[in-house]
Structure 1
C-alpha cells in the first residue's frame, strides 16, 4: 500500500501509539502493525557519531533510566539505554526495551508499512534522506515531517513528500510544492481545509485521542489524524465480553478523564482512586451491540475508603459520546448521560448528568455494606423505557423512567473517596 491508496482521512500511529505501547520502540511498532495500523510515526534525531536515534524528546530522561541529551549518545550507547516502560506506561510492559535506530526501523518496516518520520532538529533531515535512499525505500511509502521550511525544501528537492508542520500558509506551501501542512487540532478550521484542498494541499492534524474531536475534524475536512490511541480513533476498537484486564495492558479507548487508574496484578484487575480522590476513566473499548438498549455487567470491589465517608463509592457513567467527565467539578461540557453509584454503605443511586452536572434521579437504601476486598456484582440495564441498576446477589435495585439521553453507549468507570477495583466487564 502507498499513501495515495489510503482512504482519507487516515490515522497515523503517533509515536507508534503512545497510549497503548511504549512509544518509539520496535516492540511497540510491532504491536501497532499487528493491530492493522497502516501508518506509524518516528521522531528522528542525529546522534554524536552521525547515527540516527528514534525518540521524541531532546533528552533521554523521560523515557529511560538514564539522563542526558540524545545528541550526546553514539549509536552504540544508544542501544544500551533502558526504556523505563513499566514506569512510563505501566501494565504488562517490561523494562529492558531499547530505543531503536532509524536504520533498524527502515530495515524491519521499510516498504512494508507506511512511515511518517519527523526530523527533530535542524541537522536530521539530510541524513534521514540518505538513510531512506540507502535502504531503498519507495517514496510512495514515506511521508516526512518538519517544522523547518528548509527541511521541507530539501525533502522536496530529493523527491520525497513532506508535511510542513506548524504552518497554515497554504499559498507559500503551494509555491514550494509542499503537498501537506500539519496543524494542531485546535488550529484546524473548515476554511483552512477548503483553501488547502483548492490548492492541491492536504491537511494533517495532531494529536487527537477522543472520537468527538475526531468527528469535528473530519467534518472540517482533514486528511490525516495523528493519534496516541490510533485503533480507537480509527474506529476499530470494540469488545463486548472477555477478561478485559487479564493481560494488564492498556486497551484502545482506555483514556483518562481524570487519570488512567492502575492495574492490580494480584488479581488481574484494573482500578482507580483512593480515600482522597475522585476519578473517572473512559472505557472506549466497550461497544454495546445496540447503543439504545443493552446490559452492562461488572464486579466492583472497594478498598481503602475514607474513614466515615458516606460519599465513598464506585461509579459507572454511561454517556452519549466520549467527552471527558470530571466528577464534582461542574466543568465537563459535553458529558451527558447517567451515573450509577454504589456506595460503601450499600446504597445504590442513579443520577442524570447534563453538561457534567449531576442530578439525583432515584436511590435504594438498606443494601448490605460493602466488605473491603470483596467483589459485588453490579448490573445496569438500559432500555428504551429507562434504566435499571441492580447491585449484589440480593438484588438491591433502582429503576428510573428517564429517557433524556439515547443512545448512551460510552462507558466510564470511576470512584469517589475510595480505591475501587473492577473486573468481569461484559456488555450484552
Structure 2
C-alpha cells in the first residue's frame, strides 16, 4: 500500500507546520507527516519551513537568530503558533510515523538527540522516524552520530543524484520530486533496496499516474486525496 504522507501536516487545509495542521493530517488518515526543523537562537528545535519568518508570520527576521520566546509571540497565518519539535512529537504520539526534514543548519545533532531520547526513554522506535534533507552534510552528520536513524536523500535535481547520496549514506529511502520519476529509475532504486517517497503531489491526474508506479509513499498537501 502506498503511504499517505501529509506535507507539512495537511498544508492544503491548515497553515503549514502547525500543530493544527498535523492534527488535520491525522484526522484525514495520513500514515505519516512531513515537517521541517530549524534550531532557534536559544537552542530549541522549532518546526518551520523557511529560513525567515517573514512569509508565514506577522514578524520578520531569521529563524536561527530569534529566541523561542520571540518565535512563540508570533502568529502563523494570523491565528496559529510556531511549534517546537517536542510539542509536535507529543501531539503525534506514535499515531503515525514522522519525516523530519533537516532544513536549518546544525540541526542534525539536536534532532539525533531528541530521537534517541524518544526511542530509549519514551518507548518509540526508530521506525517511527525518517530523517531527510537536501543538505548532504546534515545527513552525513546524522549518520555519524547515530547510524540507526533511517535517512532519506531529498532531490529536486535528479533521481541519479538521490541514489548517489543514498549509496554514500547507506540511506533507507530516496525522496525525489515526483516529476523526476520514470519506470527505469524506479527499477534501479528498487534494485538497490531503497524505499521511494515522492513530493509534492496534489493533483488527481498526477496521483493516479504515480499509483501505477512501484513507489512507497506520496507526500501531499491533501493527504485525503491519496
TM over 0.5: yes
Alignment of 1:387-402 (within 5 A): none
Structure 1 position 151 matched with structure 2 position 138: yes
Please, what TM-score do these two structures have when normalized by structure 1?
0.48
Q: Give secondary structure in 2 for the equivalent of 1:135.
A: helix
Aligned residue in 2 for 1:106: 89
- Distance (Å, rounded) in 2 between the aligned partners of 1:200 and 1:135: 27
Q: Per the alignment, do residues 47 and 172 of structure 1 end up closer, same or farther by CA in structure 2, a change over 3 Å counting? A: closer
148-157 or 185-194: bigger deviation: 148-157
- Distance (Å, rounded) in 2 between the aligned partners of 1:141 and 1:78: 27
Structure 1 position 70 matched with structure 2 position 57: no
Which one of the candidate residues 31, 50, 56 is aligned to 1:57? 50
TM-superposition CA deviations, 1:250-280 (whole Å, max 9, x none): xxxxxxxxxxxxxxxxxxxxxxxxxxxxxxx
Aligned residue in 1 for 2:151: 162
Aligned residue in 2 for 1:46: 39
Aligned residue in 2 for 1:334: none
Alignment of 1:378-393 (within 5 A): none
Structure with more contact order per residue of length (Cα contacts < 8 Å, sep ≥ 6): 2
Structure 2 gap segments, 5+ residues each: none
**CA offset at residue 171 of structure 1?**
5.2
- Distance (Å, rounded) in 2 between the aligned partners of 1:80 and 1:135: 27
CA contact (8 A) 1:174 1:201 kept: no
33-42 or 191-200: bigger deviation: 33-42
- Distance (Å, rounded) in 1 between the aligned partners of 2:187 and 2:198: 15
Aligned residue in 2 for 1:23: 16
Larger radius of gyration: 1
Aligned residues: 216
Q: Give secondary structure in 1 for the equivalent of 2:14.
A: coil
CA contact (8 A) 1:25 1:98 kept: yes
Aligned residue in 2 for 1:115: 98
- More helix per residue: 1 or 2? 2
Q: Give secondary structure in 1 for the equivalent of 2:167.
A: helix
Q: Give secondary structure in 1 for the equivalent of 2:159.
A: coil
Which one of the candidate residues 28, 34, 37 is aligned to 1:35? 28
Q: Give secondary structure in 1 for the equivalent of 2:143.
A: helix
Aligned residue in 1 for 2:80: 97
Which one of the candidate residues 194, 198, 203 is aligned to 1:205? 198
Q: Per the alignment, do residues 215 and 131 of structure 1 end up closer, same or farther by CA in structure 2, a change over 3 Å counting? A: same
- More strand per residue: 1 or 2? 1
Q: Give secondary structure in 1 for the equivalent of 2:15.
A: coil
Structure 1 gap segments, 5+ residues each: 1-6, 85-94, 235-428
- Distance (Å, rounded) in 1 between the aligned partners of 2:42 and 2:91: 22
**CA offset at residue 122 of structure 1?**
2.9
- Distance (Å, rounded) in 2 between the aligned partners of 1:123 and 1:32: 28
Aligned residue in 1 for 2:166: 173
- Distance (Å, rounded) in 2 between the aligned partners of 1:141 and 1:20: 24
Q: Per the alignment, do residues 83 and 175 of structure 1 end up closer, same or farther by CA in structure 2, a change over 3 Å counting? A: closer
Alignment of 1:316-355 (within 5 A): none
Structure 1 position 125 matched with structure 2 position 118: no
Q: Cα RMSD (Å) of the superposition? A: 1.7
CA contact (8 A) 2:28 2:223 kept: no
